[in-house]
Amino acid sequence: MLIITSGMIGSGKTTLTDRMAKHFNSRPFFEPVGDNPVLPLYYADPKRYGFLLQIFFLNKRFKMIKRALNAPHNILDRSIYEDALFTKQNHLDGNISDSEWDVYQGLLNNMLDDLNAIPQAHPNLLVYVYTDFDTVLKRIKKRGRAFEQIDAHPELKDYYYRLWQAYQTWFAEYDKSPKVKIDLQTYDLSDPDNLPIVLSQIDAAVTKYKI
């Protein structure tokens, strides 16, 4: 079984990944944020470091999903399937040139072709984590990464909103596996009473799709 979690920055995705891994007694693969030397540079100067950041993430996500697909039982925190969402937004924002976008797409397609050669080519389930935009902003502020804060960088608010909108379109169009939407605004995991409710929704999807 391979379940991937996806969702907007600050939605609670990583927290849910951890809780799901414990619930299913499986190994979590977490998104490389803390050990990403490019991410703070990108937030300081997105036009200079946009392409470098996306190549860094693409390489890490390709490595992670290959390891996860070749193992029997894993939960993956964000995946290669949503990587292009960020790169496309950087292209639309002018942080990535047309030539860089073309190079990225070619590299991504080559990687996806390689994944198709693995016996289990796709995840069994996508768990999409949703909150409204105001909740996203509150959670970004609460977790306290200095380079993410809109108080110091007001322009980030518009960027986050564009990503938040893009995620909803991406989820609607995602077709690589069965999928389920989890509302972590209504069922905020900071309240321990909500965790069994959320996990029961995921269990129901696992049963429905015979995972």
Choose the weakest-confidence range: 25-39, 72-86, 104-118.
25-39
Query: Helix or strand or coil: residue 185?
Result: coil
**Contact predicate 73/27, CB 8 Å:** yes
Over 70: is that where the pLDDT of 133 sits?
yes
Helix boundaries (H) for 45-97: 46-69, 83-92
Residue carrying structure tokens 């998104």: 31
Domains of the chain, by residue range, sit at 2-208
Nearest CA to 60 out of 37, 41, 40, 85 is that of: 37
Q: Which residues are catalytic?
A: 77
pTM of the model: 0.93
* Tens-place pLDDT, residues 162-208: 999 999 999 999 999 999 999 999 999 999 999 999 999 999 999 99
DSSP 171: H
Q: How confident is the model at residue 144 (pLDDT cuts 50, 70, 90)?
A: confident
* Tens-place pLDDT, residues 42-85: 999 999 999 999 999 999 999 999 888 887 789 999 999 999 99
Give the whole-angstrom CA distance, residue 1 versus residue 23: 13
* Tens-place pLDDT, residues 150-163: 988 899 999 999 99
Q: What CATH number has the domain spanning 2-208?
A: 3.40.50.300
